[in-house]
Amino acid sequence: MSNDRICINEQPVWARLHQHQRATRHLHMKELFAQDPQRFDRYSLQLDGLMLDYSKNRVTDRTLELLQELAQAADLSGWMRMMRAGERINISEKRAVLHSALRLPAQASLELDGEDIVPAVHAVLARMASFAQRVRAGEWLGFSGQPVRQVVNIGIGGSDLGPLMVAEALKPYADPALTFHYVSNVDGQHLAQVLQQCDAASTLFIVASKSFATPETLLNAQAARRWFLQYAAEADIARHFVAVSSNAPAVQDFGIDTDNMFDFWDWVGGRYSVWSAIGLPVMLQIGPERFAEFLAGGARMDEHFFHTPFERNMPVLLGLIGVWYNTFYGAHTHAIMPYDHGLRRLPAHIQQMDMESNGKRVGRYGERLDFDTGPVIWGEEGVNSQHAFFQLLHQGTRLVPCDFIIAMNTHYPLGNQHRVLVANCFAQTEALMRGKTEAEVLQELGDLAGDELDVLLPQKLFPGNQPSNTIALDKVTPYNLGMLLAMYEHKVFVQGVIWGVNSFDQWGVEYGKQLASRLLGELESGQVAAHDASTAGLMRHYLEACHD
């Protein structure tokens, strides 16, 4: 691995980008479009069923050139090569980062520590497929001889958000005989409400936890087990509980037979794990063939990412444009708006993927960074969000770069509703970009004059110049979704490399976990230890107010 420690903000191109931002910030995208009738053709890319339009950004050819220089200064190509080759680029945990290996075809090979890992990946996929086929065919029988009808995935974070999002998006491909539930919250109402809809004799629980040490998941899994044992015997657990984990001893300790465990490896990060056995509920829902198409879509994006020059590389361009706003414009957030009901959980999944990866204030070698890193990722499904927070995007004071995601074809044709959806999506990106001028507003206001005009005119103006990317899928198919997801994964990687952070650890989530376990002990014993006045006050309030 390269030992060159690059201080990115000390590279000359960093200062040149700041200077370039100062020189170009007055430019309005409307002018850029007027100057260059080819802007859409030049600033859009197509890869199979995925089109990226990045023309509605505050960038010129020079901006993109400088950003690519920044990527070179950060040795992006070198880090891409190291990731792909399985070097231990997750330095703090001394792990390789090989989620892209999960998407390799069976005939490929990739050596890690002298061993080809592709056969192991495909061996697990084959076990998952054989299990999924048995469940889907009604051959996997529960304790009373009934086939599985409900599947409950118990997991949290990457062991929940990824499969849940993909499952929602790919519902049109679902086996209607099976109902899926995803339980993540330690709040008992989540599991309790799901169990109310389940019949123990026909329910399959998937306990999904890479570490098999995550308290929320284990607590929910134990509660599910207790519920199940009200109806069945200990020996029946094997037919109703399976595990997905990289920790076989902990799975065994929990009481799940390791024959019913689907494993994955420490080189798969939780938030990048939907391609692994963590995708089991998705495979059960859509079948092994469709799941293979999902993997193939991811592999197609990997190939594009690893082999395409930066100037035509979708994840690289998305990453660099994001850095442009975040680092050089000081934009703090980035919004993701899927104009697709099935993709409504995408913002939450990307939020974890991005914020857990790049929400770091210290560089990969432990150095304190004195610039902002990962943005706050947020978003909601399109159209609904137009009636919620778009006011701020159009007329607020902040720069909010957005991604709009839309399918060109729907699985659910219903009158002209899909066309209305598309029109709304495109209209929003146009309105955000062009805004509305004083002359246009005056024309709209007609005869209005005097004080009334003075009050209304500024309120009806839209400054525009709000940037957005539009990602158009031909249709939300497993393949296209695979491309979309892998594109975001690589975008996050690109940004992590530029900012010099380790995108693959997550030390920041540990502290709260430790404190929670200490506080739980105190709440159980009723002995409140020394805390700040607020925490101690809240603890005492709970002990007094709780009647359970």
356 catalytic residue (yes or no) = yes
SS3 243: strand
Residue from 137, 427, 442, 509 in contact with ligand F6P (CB under 6 A) = 509
Beta bridge partners of 16: none
Residue from 49, 86, 142, 158 in contact with ligand F6P (CB under 6 A) = 158
- Binding region for ligand F6P (CB under 6 A) out of 92-100, 157-165, 255-263, 429-437: 157-165
271 binds ligand F6P (CB under 6 A): yes
Beta bridge partners of 377: 334
- Which tokens sit at 118? 């592709």
- Report the C-alpha gap between 527 and 429 in whole angstroms: 56
Residue from 157, 281, 297, 342 in contact with ligand F6P (CB under 6 A) = 157
Residue type, 414: L
How many residues does this entry show for the chain? 548
- Which tokens sit at 347? 């913002």
Alpha-carbon separation of residue 52 from 56, 315, 342, 469 (angstroms): 11, 10, 20, 7
If you search the block for the tokens 């005869």, which residue do you land on?
Answer: 447
Give me the least distance between CB of 96 and ligand F6P, in Å please: 17
Residue type, 231: Y
State how beta strands 50-53 and 44-47 pair: antiparallel
Give me the least distance between CB of 239 and ligand F6P, in Å please: 24
* Candidate list 31, 139, 234, 513, residue with the active-site label: 513
- Report the interhelical angle of 314-323 vs 61-73 (nearest 10°): 100
495 binds ligand F6P (CB under 6 A): no
Residue from 270, 342, 363, 375 in contact with ligand F6P (CB under 6 A) = 270
Give the DSSP H or E segment for 402. Answer: strand 402-407
- Binding region for ligand F6P (CB under 6 A) out of 72-80, 97-105, 152-160, 298-306: 152-160
* Candidate list 356, 380, 381, 489, residue with the active-site label: 356
- Binding region for ligand F6P (CB under 6 A) out of 155-163, 167-175, 478-486, 487-495: 155-163
The mark string for 107-146 relative to ligand F6P (x by CB under 6 A, - otherwise) is ----------------------------------------
With contact defined as beta carbons under 8 Å apart, do 58 and 465 qualify?
Answer: yes
513 catalytic residue (yes or no) = yes
Give the DSSP H or E segment for 53. Answer: strand 50-53
User: How big is the site for ligand F6P, counted in residues (CB under 6 A)?
Assistant: 14
If you search the block for the tokens 């069923």, which residue do you land on?
Answer: 49
Residue number, 207 or 393, with CB nearest to ligand F6P: 207
DSSP state, residue 262: E
The mark string for 195-234 relative to ligand F6P (x by CB under 6 A, - otherwise) is --------------xxx--x--x-----------------
- Binding region for ligand F6P (CB under 6 A) out of 37-45, 97-105, 154-162, 425-433: 154-162
Give me the least distance between CB of 211 and ligand F6P, in Å please: 3
- CA nearest to 128, candidates 270, 294, 272: 294
Alpha-carbon separation of residue 351 from 86, 155, 308, 446, 492 (angstroms): 25, 17, 26, 45, 11
* Candidate list 26, 94, 387, 547, residue with the active-site label: 387
Interacting residues with ligand F6P between 368 and 397 (CB under 6 A): none
Binding interface with ligand F6P (CB under 6 A): 156-159, 209-211, 214, 217, 270-271, 356, 506, 509
Active site positions, annotated: 356, 387, 513
